[in-house]
Structures are given as C-alpha cells and as structure tokens.
Chain A
Amino acid sequence: MDDVKETIRQFILSTYLPGESADNLRDDTPLMTSGVLDSLATLGLVSFVEREFGIELDAYETGVETFDRIEDIAALVARKRSH
C-alpha cells in the first residue's frame, strides 16, 4: 500500500508539481478540491494508475471521493486489485 502511495506521489510531483517538495504532498493533501488535479490531470493520472498497477478504471470511479487524496487513490487501487 505504501509503495502504491509513493509511486502515485512521485508521478504527481514530477508531472504536475515540478519543484515541489515531497513533504508538502501528504497522503491526505486534497488534489481535486484544491485544483492540483483538474480534469486533464485526472485523465493523465488515470492512465498512469491503470498502466502502472494493471487495473482498469471506469468513468464513474474518477470522482472526488476516489481521486481527491493519494490515500483514496491507493485504496481504490487496492480494491481493484483484490477483485
């Protein structure tokens, strides 16, 4: 689970927040509601998550309740993998 979070964190930092310190992007930092993840960034992250963790996401699974925090995304990945 921690590996998943770290992988997602590194992707977000390198792709959307270059120059930002990893310490400032905590597991519970809001991403969608703070504007870091807009629709385009969400799509980019969806592609990354699907590719990286070998899962397939549905359009309905890209809402704020599953993609607003790194911990939420990691939980979604874990749920999908367990199915």
Chain B
Amino acid sequence: MSIVVERGTALKSAVTHSPDRVSLREFLALIVSLAFVAALIQHFGLESDAFLRLAILSFAGFAVHYFLPFRLRFPFFLLLSVSTIGLLLGVVPTLWIAGLGLALIGLCHLPVPFGIRVALLVLAGSLLAMLRVDVITAPWPSAIWPILGSMFMFRLVIYVYDLRHESTRPSVWSSLSYFFLLPNVCFPLFPVVDFKTFRRTYYNDERHRIYHVGVQWIFRGVVQLILYRIVYQNLVTDPASVVNAVDLARYLIWPFLLYLRVSGQFHVIVGLLHLFGFNLPETHHSYYLTSSFTDFWRRINIYWKDFMMKVFYYPAYFALRKRGETTALVISTIAVFAATWVFHSYQWLWFRGDVLLAWNDVLFWTVLALFVVLNSVYEFRRGRQRVLAGRSLPWNQTLTTALRTVGMYVFISILWSLWSTDSLRTWTSLWIAAGRWPSDPSPWQLAFIVAVPLTVGLAAVGASRAWWPGWPSSIERSAALIVVSAAVLAVGSSSMVYKRLGATGELIAAARFGGLNRTDMVGLERGYYENLMGIDKFNGELWALYTNRPPDWAKGVIEAGVGRRVDDKLPWELLPSSERRFKGVMLRTNQWGMHDKEYSKLPPPGCYRIALLGASHAMGTGVEREQTFEAQLEQRLNRDQEPGGRRCYEILNFAVYGYNPIQQIDLLDERVAEFRPNAILYVAHPEDSVRVERFVTQKVQTGAALPFEYLTNLVKEAGVDSSMPERVISQRLSGSGGKILAWVYQRLVADTARHDMCAGLLFLPMIAEVKSAVDVNRELELAREAGFSVFDMSGVYDVPDRNSLWIAAWDAHPNAKAHALIADRLYGQVRERKAFLSCGQPEN
C-alpha cells in the first residue's frame, strides 16, 4: 500500500513506501532503545516526574500505534495526547484546556469573511490576556495557562495564515492533533511547529526511518538535558562572586551553555512526535558552531526562524522589494527581530502572567538584529561559502571557519550573559573585574576557561572537514549504541563509581542533582529561558500537578496553620497542643509547642535532659513525632541502659521548621534554658556558613535591623548599607559566612555554659546530594574549635537508592527510614561519648 497523506501536501517522494509494513525485528530494537531512554530519564530524574510519566505513556502508546492500521493512527494519536493531558493534569484542567482550545479552533473556521475571523481571534486573545493578568478572574485553575498558551499562542497564527493560503482544507484529525500535541503537556516551552510542515511530513518517508530518527533525537535530547545539569550544578555563578578577570570569564561562559536545556527539550519533543509518524525537521543544528550572525540565526531554534520567515520576513520583503532589494532586506530583517522581541514578551505573558519589559532584553535583541542585518547585507552582496551535505572544506577555509566560530561563540556568550543578568546596571558593573587578575588563580579554572572555546574551535574543524561519524544507519546498531551509552552514563553516575573519581566524580554526579544549584538557592540569575522553564518557580499549581504534590504542600508553618508569629526575635513558633496536617503527616505538638510527646517543664528527678535545637530536619518534617531520630534515640537510651545507668533520658525537640543558625541563639535564651536541660544538641547542616551569610545579606539589602551587636559591627566593617546596590552588598559580605558561623557557634557554646549545660553538635548531611560550595570540613572544625562535642553523621544516607529516603518525590526531607538510620548512628556515637551523657548538673 502506498499513501498520500493529505491531498496536495505530501511530497512526491512520499508516495513510494508502505506505512503498514511491520518488522518485528526493527520494532523490538526501537522498543529496547526507548526502554533504556526511559531508564535514563528515571535514573537522572530529568526535568519533572511528569516527564518520566509522559515518556512511559508515549513509548507504550508507540507500541500500540505501531500495529494500528494507517487510517486509525491519527485518531489514536489525538486520543493518546488528550488522555495523557488528562492523566498528568487531571480531568478538570484537561476539560478547560479542551473546551477553550476547541472554541479558539472553532473561531478559525466560522463561515464569515477571513478578516472577521481574525478580528474575533484577536478579541478572544485579548479577553484571555485580561484573564491571564487577573484583570478579570478566570474560572479555571491557573495551572492550565502555560499549557494553553503554549498550544495556541503561536500555532493559531500559523494555522490561520495557512488556512488563508492553502488550497486544501485540513482534516479534523490533523487540525486537532496539531494543537493538542502529546508532549505539550509537560513542555510548555515548545518548538513553533509549522502546520504546513506538520501535514506535509506525516509519514512522508519509510515508517521505520521516521521512528529511528525519533529515537535518535530523544536520546540526543536526553543527553543534552544531562549535560545541562552538569553545567547548571557546576558552572553557574552569581554576579556577586565576580571579583577578577577569571571570575568574569567564568560568569560569561555559563549562560549560553544553559541553552542546552531548551535544545534538549526540543529534541525530545520532536523525537516523540516522530514516533507517531510526524517526520518533522531538526529544531537545532550544532548552534555552538556558528560562524557568522546569520549562521547563528539559521542554526538556533530553527522552527522559530522558519515561523518568522514565513509570517514576517518573506511577506515584508516581497511587499517592499520594489523599493530596492537592500532596503527590503534591511526592513524585513528589522521587522523579524522586532517581532521576535514582542513575541518573547508575549510568550512571557502567557507563561508568567506579567509583562516582560527589561532593558537588557531590548538591548540583546537590538544588538543581535544590528549584526544580523549587517551580516545579511554583506552576504546578499558578496555571497558566502556553501557546500553540499557531506562535503568537507579545504584546510585554509576550515581554519578560517574555526577561528570565526570561536569568535562567534565568545561574542554570543557575552551577549547571552547580558540577557541573563538581572539588570543592565549589574552586567556593566561586572566589567570592572576585567582589569583585575587573581593573585592565585586556580589552574583548573584557567584550563576550563581556555578549554571551552578550544573545544568549540576543534569541533568546528571536525565539522568543516566532515570528520564526525554519523548515527548508525541500522536500527539494531542504533539500539546497541543507545543501550551501551545509557549503561555507561548510569554506571558512571552511580555513587559507587563517582565517589572514587574525586573532583571529576563530583562533576559527573552533579548530573543527578535535580534541585536548585547554590546560586539559584540564593535567588539570583536564571535568564529568560530558565525563567520560563522553571515551572516550580512560576506556576506552583502546574508544578504540583506535574509532581502529584498535594496543593497545600508548599505552605509554610504560618500558612499551613501549624504555627504563629511571636516576636521580632524568632520568626514563628509551633502552636501548642495542636494537631494539623503538615507536609503529608499529622503534626502533633505538645503543650509547649514542640513536635514531641508531652514533658513536664522541669526535668523529673533523676532524668538526664537533652534539648534538640535545629530546623526542619531536626523537627522531623514529614514524619510522625514517634518516628523522629530524637524520639527513637530517647527510646533506645531508656531501653538499652547499661548497668548502673541513669533511670531516664529525655530529649526535648525544640527544633522548628525554617529557623536558621543565628536564630538558635535566641531560641536557646528565650525558650530552652527554662526547661533546665543538661545538654543541648544543635543539628547543623553542610553550608550553614552560606545560610548565615545569606541571612545577614538579605537583612542589609532590605534595610532590616540586625539581631546582634556582633552582626551590626560586622556589617559596619564591611562598609555596606541598604542604600547600596544588592550586588555590591553581596560582594562585600561574600566570604563572611565562616566568620559569622564561628561566632554563632562560640555564642551557643558560651550560652550553654552560662546555663550549666553541655553543647553537642549533630552534623547532618542533606539527602539530596548537592556539590558543596564551601569547605564543609572547615565548618566542622569551627564547631570543634568553639567547644562543641561533634557527632558527625556524614555518610549516614549512603544507601543504594538515596531518593528512597525522601519524605516524598518532591521533598528531600528525611523520611522515617532516614530518621531510623540517623538514630542508629547517633546512638552508637552517643554511647561512645559518655561525657555527653553525664554533663551539667544532673539531679540524682
């Protein structure tokens, strides 16, 4: 059987193959490849949980779709797309998306003149925009906005344009499938698929070749998403850390590399569509290897370029060419960039619900437009070197191309850093550092800064000389390559391997860290695309649907109704004798507002009392109060008494969700001391020095009063106040975390001694492994130097599947199993450290 997909849209070469040919051998090779890709997504925890579910549903859907008769495949794809939206977002949001979508598509087909249809669409769009910015309250959940916007904001423009110009009417299946595209449900940032191309390429080649390309692209996308993770976790720095030329070079490198996430997602998206017969073209083509501005525009986000060419560039050029070709070229190119800028703000509106108007955004597009215009005019008049596919350039041209490519890479990186920095003022202030050379530059940093452009240059040489081997042409070999590569990536990033590889291992392991990097944790630079893709940040409701997270999970202590504000010193306290749901469990507090059982205010005679201080981990967020490590430790100490031991031990849990180390000083003075404990056990975490520095920095930036004289003097010495730019405050206080933490520790130890108590410090790592930005061992040293008796829990979470220790897939607080591990380790250490259990003034 041969096919013509839709009359008038299929290319001539498309009619020579059979879309129903079944090959079990090739099918199995494709399925094995997809199974390994799914395993990689799961192993690295890429993107959101919704991505893994989408991948599994799509791959399973492909297995069914493969055996369906050709005529049923389009309806099946539509059914699968809508069902997947329903499964991932829920019934109500899906019905809203479907209803609104059908209404918009219906407007395109109203039996009225074209101009009226366009006017009605503009009217509907304006009404939706008012709902989006909350001028009018929308009756549907806000989670649907990014998905609805992604499906319709650009595709409607193309659809209407093609309806106007195409002679053949699209089928209902193709129209509906075009808007409700399967991967859209978890990728709001989506390539602008052209409707004509969507119809034209449907099974326009031998079906297994289309599927094969799809699998390759999905794999390529997944690898790019892993590389993005490595860049994101290891390279990203904030402007405050830029003090010399090497820092500046590093700062300029990372923003453009973060684009790997966009290209990775786009490859996955188009690859998934290939599995259902849509033989769409490549979305990005080696965009780090651009050798000119026009070349950059052609290689990066090719679908966007094609959209702009089709709707703006060619119509403008053809309308203006009577005024001269150069004039037409210049005006059309400027029109394209103006439209690109406007549409990027328009996209921001639908995703984020506000208007993007930033000078660095305007400047980025203006500079790019200027260079593309100049480059276009030059090429239009002088031409450029072109070669047929698969041909190599001679050596002299290869070297020139490589040099131009390195130059372009550096220029685009600088321009991209401007786009990604929060303000133009911050970006320009960075350049002061260019004149300062570090006194003791790290050879690794220098090597890395040289290695990036060098790699780009070598890759350009390879591409020009056609050295790069292509992807295997047989599906079986391709499957073997994917299986081997996936296995290498999975084994290489397992804790058993990376922990033996030192610094290189940490770099690799970063690929598995799904959380925020250190820079983003302090709320700094993210850039345009990072801001659009960080759904956890801009649409918590959608993120909750992606992760299956209960809607109230994100609530803090006050919002969840488990705490109340008290005074200026402590941010809040837990409500006494309360029983409310918090982070998935019943948070039951005693009469003193502790997540603990009841205790008398004063210790019973003969009881040795320990006060546990800390934050969420110590409080036992997400676990029952009987499951916390302190409750288990207390139980074991009382149960397994050594001969001649005390009659009872009490551990009172004073820890409260959200308290930072500085606030523990007030907690000790205000609340703990009156309970007359014999010892305190403060629960510290890696990077507490970063947390205390951030606390002080934010206080200064917001002009809030600092709680202790020591901190006020420290800020005075640093010469900062709230009138200064945030970057300057951060920069001047940068590195003070260690000093502040040392003071906190000394103060805690001194205060406990004043109250005749002993001071213990429990050093508890995080379950989610994040590469530390500071020397964690130094933090432990500070605790020891201050006089703490240190209980080091490093490695306590080293189990084969660390993620199984989280309280939920979206929350890395330790669960009951993790608390049991801590209790076990701590019990052993406490028993060895007898002095800690016999200090203070025990009342025998």
Contact = CB atoms under 8 A, between A and B. Distances in A.
A52 interface: no
A47 B321 CA distance: 10
Interface stretch (B101-109, B169-177, B381-389, B415-423): B381-389
Interface string B307-319: 0011001110111
A63 B310 contact: yes
Contacts, number: 57
Given A39-B313, A59-B314, A64-B197, A25 B388 contact: yes
A36 B383 contact: no
A74 B527 CA distance: 47
B329 interface: yes
A35 B313 CA distance: 18
Contacts of A15: 383
B817 interface: no
B45 interface: no
B99 to A, nearest CB: 32
Interface string B647-667: 000000000000000000000
24 contacts: A15-B383, A16-B383, A17-B386, A17-B388, A24-B388, A25-B388, A29-B388, A30-B389, A36-B388, A39-B309, A40-B329, A40-B379, A43-B317, A44-B380, A57-B318, A58-B318, A59-B314, A59-B317, A59-B319, A60-B165, A63-B196, A64-B197, A64-B200, A65-B200
Interface in B271-288: 281
Given A17-B387, A35-B386, A43-B317, 6 more contacts: A20-B388, A35-B389, A38-B298, A39-B313, A58-B318, A62-B314
Interface size, A (range) = 20 to 34
B315 A34 contact: no
Interface string A31-51: 001111011110110010000
A43 B329 contact: yes
A47 to B, nearest CB: 7
A65 B386 contact: no
A24 B389 CA distance: 10
Contacts of B387: 17, 20
B11 A65 contact: yes
B318 A59 contact: yes
B317 A34 contact: no
A60 B194 CA distance: 13
Contacts of A59: 314-315, 317-319
A44 to B, nearest CB: 7
Nearest to B311: A59
Nearest to A60: B165
B378 to A, nearest CB: 10
A33 B282 CA distance: 10
B479 to A, nearest CB: 26
A16 to B, nearest CB: 5
Interface string B285-329: 000000000100010000000000110011101110000010001
Contacts of A57: 318
Contacts of A65: 9, 11, 196, 200
Most buried by A among B165, B281, B310, B318: B318
Contacts of A24: 388
A24 B387 CA distance: 11
Nearest to A58: B318
Nearest to B295: A38
A58 to B, nearest CB: 7
Contacts of B165: 60
A40 B388 contact: no
A33 B281 contact: yes
B160 to A, nearest CB: 13
Contacts of B318: 57-59
B196 to A, nearest CB: 7
Contacts of B388: 17, 20, 24-25, 29, 34, 36
A29 B13 CA distance: 12
Contacts of A28: 13
A30 B329 CA distance: 25
A44 B386 CA distance: 14
Nearest to B314: A59
A17 B352 CA distance: 46
Contacts of B294: 38, 40
B386 A36 contact: yes
Given A40-B376, A40-B380, A59-B315, A34 B389 contact: yes
A35 B318 CA distance: 22
Contacts of B380: 40, 43-44
Interface string B407-439: 000000000000000000000000000000000
Contacts of A25: 388
Interface in B387-415: 387-389, 391
Contacts of A47: 325
Most buried by B among A17, A25, A36, A43: A43
Contacts of A29: 388
Interface in B344-400: 376, 379-380, 383, 386-389, 391
B359 to A, nearest CB: 29
A24 B237 CA distance: 50
Interface string B127-170: 00000000000000000000000000000000000000100000
Nearest to B315: A59
A60 B197 CA distance: 13
A40 B379 CA distance: 8
Nearest to B165: A60
Contact of A35 (B13, B298, B309): B298
Most buried by A among B294, B314, B317, B319: B314
B347 to A, nearest CB: 23
Contacts of A38: 294, 298
Nearest to A47: B325
B326 to A, nearest CB: 11
Most buried by A among B197, B329, B387: B387
A34 B386 CA distance: 10
Contacts of A64: 197, 200
Contacts of B319: 59
Contacts of B383: 15-16
B603 to A, nearest CB: 80
A18 B281 CA distance: 27
Nearest to B282: A33
A25 B11 CA distance: 19
Contacts of A20: 387-388, 391
B285 to A, nearest CB: 8
Contacts of B325: 43, 47
A42 B528 CA distance: 32
B315 A16 contact: no
A2 B200 CA distance: 26
Most buried by B among A15, A40, A44, A58: A40
Contacts of B314: 59-60, 62
B386 A16 contact: yes
Most buried by B among A16, A36, A44, A64: A64
A41 B387 CA distance: 13
